[in-house]
């Protein structure tokens, strides 16, 4: 029976991957509308022929990898369950340790290690693709270092969350999901508070903006927007990538506006000021707090659905999944499988909210700096540096794009400039 279910799962994944390959590489049409050809939004006006070719190739690879990575993860969780590997980890951990926390820690370590090894080929392939197309500048040793850091940070947080989760499941079989959600509220806020000052510096060096002339301009812009102006940083991302970026992170006193050094090196002051105005728009429009609220709402719905789905799956397919009870920690891969499934299909909703926020931030930046030429050049440079796809298909846009496609952003700025 296990072999049958395993073959069925592999066959289903294979058919899905083949269908997505055909759609991504041969079925979708993401060309430029006739009305916009030759405009500032047309990538042929600001990308070379070689860059256009590389952008098309890389976009297809990225899109395909995105759509197969999630289902591949589900397949891995399913394999760990039906082969009895999860149950073996649980039994071995129980034999080795008497205290519950240590048993949980050992189980989580074994599961995390197996998943790290199984995911590594795809992760490494994504790294080599980024490297071969000139996006990544990171040496393999540095890339592996980041992966090892990810592993141990995820392991530490997982031990805490899994221990609390299964303790709540045992104490309250019917309401565990609600209590778990209630605890995610302070935990999520705490992580967002410490991320800029504790977690992010583990990966990169952050320091105050070195360009004092630019700093003066940014402070002046922040003063116009009535925004606290002492949290502008740059980070040495050139050691890892050629892409450009800037972002807002953290909450309260630990909030930061961060500029990648690649952005500082390749964009003019006017273009950087547009980016800063965009990030200030996020700050003024309270997008960080809105994102927290959206995350907590979706987590509430997700945990409620998991609490409904998991017991039914265990009751019906427990013998196949090698899980006897929900409270057994061997059910964790099933929890992760369902979570990953729900997260994947929630992408269109969360991305739609994010794109709406980005449109508002763009509009605010246009009002603040009143420099549409700088805005257009900024969007073009961002596309050029990341070899981005300016006009993805609808399916790709729904599932992958947290920002409006560059075709839409550039065209909107150009239309506003024409109106003025």
Q: How do residues 245-293 score in pLDDT, each as one tens digit?
A: 887 776 666 667 788 899 999 999 999 999 989 988 888 888 888 888 8
CA dist., res. 217 & res. 269, Å (int): 8
Q: Which pLDDT belongs to residue 253? A: 65
Q: Which pLDDT belongs to residue 151? A: 95
Range of the domain at 380: 2-205+286-419
Structural domain tally of the chain?
A: 1
Give 57's contacts (C-beta < 8 A, 6+ positions apart). Answer: 133
| The pairing of beta strand 232-235 with beta strand 256-260 | parallel
Which of 341, 342, 325 shows the shortest CA–CA distance to 166? 325
- For residue 241, the SS3 value is strand
Task: Tell me whether residue 210 is in a domain.
Answer: no
Task: Tell me whether residue 271 is in a domain.
Answer: no
Q: Choosing from 234, 271, 279, 358, which is the catalytic residue? A: 279
CA dist., res. 189 & res. 398, Å (int): 27
Task: Tell me whether residue 295 is in a domain.
Answer: yes
Ranges of H-type helices in 83-175: 85-96, 100-132, 140-171
CA dist., res. 112 & res. 162, Å (int): 12
Q: With a cut of 70, which residues of the chain have pLDDT below it?
A: 1, 30, 228-231, 250-255, 417-420
Q: How do residues 62-117 score in pLDDT, each as one tens digit?
A: 999 999 999 999 999 999 999 999 999 999 988 777 788 889 999 999 999 999 99
Q: Please report, for the chain, how many H helices and E strands are present, in that order.
A: 15, 4
Using a pLDDT cut of 70, give the percent of the chain over it.
96
Q: Is 271 a catalytic residue?
A: no
Task: Tell me whether residue 182 is in a domain.
Answer: yes
- For residue 136, the SS3 value is strand
CA dist., res. 404 & res. 401, Å (int): 7
- For residue 247, the SS3 value is strand
Task: Tell me whether residue 267 is in a domain.
Answer: no
Task: Tell me whether residue 234 is in a domain.
Answer: no
Q: Which pLDDT belongs to residue 84? A: 93
CA dist., res. 266 & res. 243, Å (int): 10
Contact call for residues 336 and 346 (beta carbons, < 8 A): no
Cβ atoms < 10 Å from Cβ of 196: 20
Q: Running DSSP on this structure, what letter comes out for residue 24?
A: I
Q: What residues are paired with 257 via a beta bridge?
A: 232, 248
Q: Which pLDDT belongs to residue 5? A: 86
Q: Which pLDDT belongs to residue 418? A: 64
Q: Which pLDDT belongs to residue 420? A: 58
Q: Which pLDDT belongs to residue 41? A: 85
**pTM score, two decimals?**
0.90
Task: Tell me whether residue 265 is in a domain.
Answer: no
CA dist., res. 106 & res. 157, Å (int): 14
Task: Tell me whether residue 279 is in a domain.
Answer: no
Q: Which pLDDT belongs to residue 198? A: 78
């Amino acid at each position: 029976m296990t072999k049958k279910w395993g073959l069925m799962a592999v066959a289903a994944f294979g058919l899905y991957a083949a269908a997505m390959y055909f759609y991504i590489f041969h079925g979708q049409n993401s060309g430029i509308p006739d009305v916009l050809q030759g405009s500032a939004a047309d990538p042929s006006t600001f990308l070379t022929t070689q860059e256009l070719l590389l952008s098309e190739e890389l976009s297809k690879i990225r899109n395909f990898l995105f759509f197969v990575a999630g289902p591949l993860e589900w397949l891995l969780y399913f394999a760990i369950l039906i082969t009895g590997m999860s149950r073996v980890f649980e039994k071995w951990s129980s034999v080795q340790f008497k205290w519950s926390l240590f048993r949980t820690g050992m189980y989580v370590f074994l599961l995390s290690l197996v998943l790290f090894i199984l995911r590594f080929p795809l992760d490494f392939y994504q790294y080599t693709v980024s490297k071969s197309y000139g996006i990544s500048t990171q040496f393999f040793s540095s890339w592996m270092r980041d992966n090892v850091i990810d592993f141990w940070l995820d392991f530490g947080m997982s031990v805490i969350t899994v221990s609390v989760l299964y303790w709540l499941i045992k104490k309250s079989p019917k309401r565990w999901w609600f209590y778990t959600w209630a605890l995610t509220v302070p935990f999520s806020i705490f992580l967002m508070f410490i991320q800029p000052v504790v977690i992010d510096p583990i990966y990169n060096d952050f320091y105050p903006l070195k360009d004092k002339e630019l700093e003066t301009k940014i402070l002046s812009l922040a003063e116009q927007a009535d925004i606290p102006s002492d949290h502008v940083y740059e980070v040495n991302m050139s050691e890892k990538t050629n892409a450009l970026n800037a972002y807002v992170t953290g909450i309260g006193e630990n909030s930061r506006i961060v500029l990648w050094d690649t952005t500082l090196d390749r964009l003019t002051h006017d273009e950087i000021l547009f980016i800063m105005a965009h990030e200030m728009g996020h700050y003024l429009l309270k997008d960080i707090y809105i994102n927290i609220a959206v995350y907590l709402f979706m987590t509430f719905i997700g945990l409620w659905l998991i609490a409904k789905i998991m017991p039914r799956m265990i009751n019906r397919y427990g013998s196949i999944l090698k899980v006897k009870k929900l409270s057994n920690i061997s059910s964790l891969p099933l929890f992760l499988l369902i979570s990953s499934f729900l997260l994947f299909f929630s992408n269109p909703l969360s991305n739609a909210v994010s794109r709406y926020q980005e449109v508002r931030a763009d509009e605010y930046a246009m009002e603040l700096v009143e420099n549409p030429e700088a805005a257009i050049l900024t969007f073009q440079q961002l596309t050029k540096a990341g070899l981005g796809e300016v006009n993805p298909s609808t399916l790709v846009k729904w599932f992958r794009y947290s920002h409006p496609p560059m075709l839409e952003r550039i065209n909107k700025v150009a239309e506003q400039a024409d109106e003025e």
